[in-house]
Amino acid sequence: MTEEMFQLIKGATEAFGPSGSEEPIREFIEARVKDYVDEVRTDALGNLICIKRGPADGKKVLLDAHMDEIGLIVTHIDDKGFLRFSNIGGVNPYIALGERVYFANGTTGVVGIEKIDDPKEVKLEKLFIDIGAKDKAEAESRVRVGDMAAFQRHAERMGSRIVSKAMDDRIGCVVVMETLRRTKSPRHTIYAVFAVQEEVGLRGARVAAFGIEPDVGIAVDVTRTGDTPKGITMDVCLGKGAAIKVKDSSLICHPGLRKYLERLAAERNIPYQLEVLEAGGTDSGAIQMTKAGVPAAVISVPCRYIHTPSEVVDENDVEACINLLVAAVESPLDF
């Protein structure tokens, strides 16, 4: 992977953007894709929609990756200046404890816990954020109730692997961004949707697909792996290529479109693996049920330690996902 590509991933993952507060990551993406598309707009919910026009006889193809990340939201500030919070998306209290977090205005803090007698008592309601304030007045000068925080971790290389917070789903955003950049002769008009609020219910993708009315929808998201010690039983591994989804909790991918992606991967010698995710969903679950229905599929980036501040992907899998998505938008999609 080139240094330029790594810096793109680093910038995307480190940008602030919990669900409902996606402005910083939206600005980051828009600045980097505007020269590769014909139109850019932001809809009423905050989705960034980038249109790259193809021939008149092509399809309307929606490419989706969600911009938002999991995070925390302040619910109360006590007299000593400690912040109580709730979760934005799937936050595990055992993983959150001891982590550093940051707010959009640059305020940083650490997640602490009340005195407990049993490890089973580690629950979100027992946790708090310490921003170093001496009292409530000082805390309120930095943070307000309703402010959101993201986990604070930097992207780093680990051989051919990259670790960072928010790989879910900033790495999918990078795949779509690179697809827009590398696609020189699209066979279809591409509607690249960088969606908001996926982590709290696939909300952005639902309204974007309703407005676009695509002929085909392909989401790019991360998926779990079964390659860690005593991990889940799953035939997805880091380093074995793009994962073409068969099923997750939100959808059964359109069989014809899924098999078409398999054929493309085989013809182009793009490494791929099939994915059956027993628990978890993606934006394609919302896209496929838009209006009278949309043939939908998912290209997944295998990822370890999902919904932690240290999500790990393999650079070769990322490249395979980009190559497969470029092949799809440059092909007839006559499944």
Domains along the sequence of the chain with CATH: 3-69+165-329 (3.40.630.10), 71-151 (2.40.30.40)
Give, in order, the Cα–Cα distances in Å from 83 to each of 79, 87, 142, 163: 10, 13, 11, 28
Query: Tell me, what's the pLDDT at 120?
Result: 87
For 81-130, how does the pLDDT look when each residue is reduced to its tens digit (9 = 90+)?
999 999 999 999 999 999 999 999 999 999 999 998 888 889 999 999 99
CB 198 within 8 A of CB 204: yes
pLDDT at 224 over 90: yes
What HEC string does 36-73 produce?
HCCEEEECCCCCEEEEECCCCCCCEEEEEEECCECEEE
Rounded CA separation 262/284 (Å)? 18
d(CA 279, CA 296): 18
198 is catalytic: yes
pTM for the structure as a whole: 0.97
* 88 vs 104: CA distance, rounded Å: 15
327 neighbors 270 (Cβ within 8 angstroms): yes
Q: Is the pLDDT of residue 68 over 90?
A: yes
Question: Among the options 198, 275, 311, 319, which is catalytic?
Answer: 198
Instruction: Please name the residue ranges forming H helices in the chain.
Output: 3-14, 23-33, 93-96, 136-140, 167-182, 203-212, 255-267, 284-287, 315-329
